[in-house]
C-alpha cells in the first residue's frame, strides 16, 4: 500500500488517476488543488488539501508521510516545480511522477506533425525547462510526455518510448495513462530517473 499525493487533483488526468488508484489498488490518496469544491471523494481512503503550491505550509502538510507524488498541472509549472522538489526533499519523499507535454524532446515525426516539437513551437520552452530542473534533482523521477488524450477503452493498448526515440502514434487513452501512473507508483525501478513518452500502439 502506498500513500500517494496528487498535485493538480482537479485536472482531467488528476481525477482519472485518483479513480484508477481507488479501483486498482489499496493505496491512500491525498488530493491537492487550488479549488477542490467539485471533487467527490471516498472519505475512507482520500483526503483533500485546498491551497496553492506557493503556500509552503499547506504543501508540506500535504506532503507529510507520502511515498509517491504525482504532478499534473495545467499551468505555472516552471515557477512551482522547484517548490515541489524542495518540499519532497524536506519530507524525504523520493518518487515523483510528472506529466507533461509531448514534443519537449522533439520526438514527434514530421509525418505526424513535427510542428508540435520544441524546435518549432516556442510555447514548449518552459516545459523543457521544467524537465531540466527535475532531471537535475536527486529525486527518483519519471517524466511522462503525453500524446493527444482520448476516452478510448483500449487501456492496455499502449507503449512507452524513451527520450530521443520518435513517437509512433500521437494519441493515447486517458485510461492508459492512469494505468502507467499506477505501475510507476508501485515499481520504483520502472522509469527510474527517465523521461518517457506514452502513446497508443501502432
CATH of 3-200, one of 3.40.50.720, 3.40.50.300, 3.40.190.10, 3.30.43.10: 3.40.50.720
Q: Work out whether strand 95-101 and strand 140-146 pair parallel, antiparallel, or are unpaired.
A: parallel
How many Cβ atoms are within 10 Å of 79's Cβ, its own excluded? 12
Write out the H or E segment, with its range, that includes residue 9. none
pLDDT at 118: 45
User: How many angstroms separate the CA atoms of 107 and 166, rounded?
Assistant: 4
Higher pLDDT, 69 or 78: 69
Domain ranges of the chain: 3-200
CA–CA distances in Å: residue 173 to residues 13, 57, 156: 11, 36, 9
Please say if the pLDDT value at position 143 is more than 70.
Answer: yes
Cell of 184: 510507476
Per-residue model confidence (pLDDT) at position 76: 59
Residue 101 has pLDDT above 90, yes or no: no
pLDDT > 80? residue 125: no
pLDDT higher than 60, residue 108: no
Distance of alpha carbon 142 from alpha carbon 52, whole angstroms:
23
pTM of the predicted model as reported, rounded to 2 decimal places: 0.90
pLDDT band of 103, cuts 50, 70, 90: low
- Higher pLDDT among residues 103 and 159, named by residue: 159
pLDDT in tens, 2-14: 999 999 999 999 9
pLDDT reported for residue 196: 94
Distance between CA atoms of residues 40 and 99, nearest Å? 22
Cell for 116? 508540435
**Backbone φ/ψ region at 164: left (φ over 0), alpha (ψ -120 to 50), beta:** left
- The DSSP H or E segment spanning 141 is strand 140-146
Q: Flag whether pLDDT at 187 surpasses 90.
A: yes
Amino acid at each position: 500500500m502506498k500513500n500517494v499525493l496528487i498535485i493538480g487533483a482537479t485536472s482531467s488526468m488528476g481525477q482519472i488517476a485518483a479513480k484508477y488508484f481507488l479501483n486498482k489498488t489499496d493505496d491512500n490518496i491525498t488530493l491537492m488543488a487550488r479549488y477542490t469544491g467539485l471533487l467527490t471523494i471516498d472519505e475512507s481512503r482520500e483526503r483533500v488539501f485546498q491551497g496553492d503550491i506557493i503556500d509552503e505550509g499547506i504543501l508540506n502538510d500535504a506532503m507529510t508521510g507520502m511515498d509517491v507524488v504525482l504532478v499534473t498541472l495545467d499551468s505555472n509549472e516552471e515557477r512551482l516545480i522547484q517548490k515541489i522538489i524542495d518540499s519532497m526533499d524536506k519530507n524525504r519523499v523520493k518518487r515523483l511522477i510528472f506529466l507533461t507535454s509531448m514534443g519537449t524532446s522533439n520526438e514527434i515525426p514530421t509525418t505526424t506533425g513535427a510542428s508540435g516539437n520544441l524546435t518549432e513551437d516556442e510555447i514548449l520552452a518552459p516545459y523543457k525547462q521544467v524537465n531540466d530542473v527535475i532531471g537535475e534533482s536527486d529525486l527518483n523521477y519519471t517524466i511522462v510526455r503525453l500524446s493527444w488524450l482520448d476516452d478510448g477503452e483500449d487501456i492496455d493498448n499502449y507503449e512507452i518510448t524513451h527520450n530521443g526515440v520518435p513517437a509512433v502514434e500521437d494519441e493515447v487513452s486517458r485510461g492508459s495513462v492512469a494505468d502507467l501512473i499506477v505501475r510507476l507508483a508501485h515499481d520504483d525501478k520502472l522509469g527510474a530517473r527517465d523521461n518517457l513518452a506514452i502513446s497508443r500502439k501502432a
